A = this chain, B = another copy of it.
Amino acid sequence: MWGIELNRCNGVSLKRQIYEALKVQMLDGRLREDDVLPSTRELSRSLNVSRGTVNEAYDMLIAEGFVVSHQGASTRVAEGLYIKTTPSSGALADVAPLPKRLTIDFQTGKPDLRLFPQFSWRQLLGRALADTSIELYNYSGPQGLVSLREELSAWLMRGRGLAVDPDDIFITAGATHALHILSMILCGDGRQMLVEDPCHDGMRRTFLNNGCAVTPIPVDSHGMQTRYLPQEGGIGALYVTPSHQFPFGGVLPATRRAALIRYAQEHDAYIIEDDYDSEFRYSGDPISPLHALDPQRVIYVGTFSKVLFPALRIGYAIIPERLRKQWILKRTYIDVQSPLLEQVVLAEFIRTRKLEGHILRMRKQYGQRRDTLLNSLREYFGDAWVAYGDAAGLHMTIDFPEMKFDEAFAENCLQRGMRITPLERHCIKKGQHISKLLIGYGHLEPSEITQGIQYLSQVMRELK
């Protein structure tokens, strides 16, 4: 009756069902402009519902302008309601699916979450929540929590000799987020972003995402080769990983550091220093950040995704004074600020020196795993390989001079239950590093590493 079929079992109220059924007919053209709707008395009788229910449905249609009703007159369909709906495209996101089960996962950049001190973290969370002040729930500003910035400032001095004021530090939702904001500020107007080649593919995509012109500068085993820096203008920024070049592992020598600074000064460009894993250096002292050489020219970017855990989404950037106003404006209109609770807990984690204790423990574990990986490589590959970047971090690059590793190789490995990264994936100029693989080992136990390398040697023989 009137195109309305009521379902009294589906939990949707009868007034909403009447409203929806009439609305659909007005939109698809079955009911047309100026058509008269049945009186509420008539409709309530034919549908066997109370007149009040019909009245409420009509009130919804009136409130939203689907029908027009004048005191005492009939209820009529409003003008211009006919629309067609857009068909769905069927073009669903085809984000690369993973095979059902990975036997061995040599992906890079993954910390071992099994060793994360959940108990301490939960304890601090509980303590943070005991503070019932509403400030924990309110806006707290785009720069991030003051107490966290104070603790970070003290920690950066203790651990890296970096002298920064809490006002210099800007909390982010991780390193990618910092690079997103920085590329908007520094290269959003089409200026060039100079990057190392190879360079982390995800970071390069972050720059491209913002329309930056990305220019590769070749890397050797020490890092960016500053003699290849272009002499033209229009340079917005240089993105470098001087403490542990990704993925080659070089420590940028002082002479090149000074050259980078002079270059940035001459071109009025900024240097973005991504210090993504220098906490885990296995011999000698931590490398001094480039930032210390010229704090008004170098932007230092750090993250807790590897030191603590990825789901935390907290990183930070040390921003020169000249860029702070732009940073605050960009951040405000990108995502306002970071959530507060995690900032409170992280500040306490640093203040109580739990962060340093955790890093020390993890450095020892990761160091043992690095040794296991090197030993396993010797065991299964003899001396037919060379390691790069094994002095720090959670991954290393292995050169097998006889081999060719491309995306087809990676895909073949995936089909066999093993995830591994050809170095070529991170190269802008292709074909230079075809014999190299990236092996992430930090998240694997020694026995998993040994089995993984054994399996890798087997797969490499099969696929050769």
Contacts and interface: CB of A to CB of B under 8 A. Distances in A.
| Complex A-B, nearest 5 residue pairs according to Cβ-Cβ distance, in ascending order | A65-B253, A137-B309, A311-B340, A86-B296, A177-B335
A48 interface: no
A408 interface: no
B129 A122 contact: yes
Contacts of A339: 173, 311-313, 339, 342
A21 to B, nearest CB: 12
B294 A63 contact: no
Interface string A120-135: 0010011001001010
Contacts of A137: 113, 116, 118, 309-312
Interface of A: 12, 15-16, 19-20, 23, 26-27, 56, 59-61, 63-66, 78-95, 113-114, 116, 118, 122, 125-126, 129, 132, 134, 136-140, 161, 173-174, 176-177, 180, 184, 188, 202, 205-206, 209, 211, 222, 251-259, 261-262, 265, 284-285, 287-288, 293-297, 309-313, 320-322, 324-325, 327-330, 332-342
A79 B136 CA distance: 52
Given A27-B258, A64-B254, A80-B255, A313 B336 contact: yes
A258 B330 CA distance: 35
A79 B359 CA distance: 35
B86 A258 contact: no
B56 A285 contact: yes
A65 B311 contact: no
A28 to B, nearest CB: 11
A339 B335 CA distance: 13
A139 B310 contact: yes
A422 B364 CA distance: 60
A149 to B, nearest CB: 14
B253 A64 contact: yes
Contacts of A336: 173-174, 176-177, 310, 313
A309 B93 contact: no
B335 A138 contact: no
A329 B90 CA distance: 18
A63 B148 CA distance: 32
B253 A93 contact: no
A209 to B, nearest CB: 4
Given A83-B294, A93-B324, A333 B173 contact: no
B83 A293 contact: yes
Given A91-B325, A113-B138, A324-B92, A177 B334 contact: yes
A94 B325 contact: yes
A85 B311 contact: no
A261 B332 CA distance: 31
11 contacts: A59-B285, A83-B262, A89-B320, A92-B321, A116-B137, A125-B129, A137-B312, A177-B334, A209-B330, A313-B337, A339-B342
Contacts of A15: 285
Contact of A309 (B138, B311, B312, B333): B138
A89 B86 CA distance: 54
Nearest to A11: B158
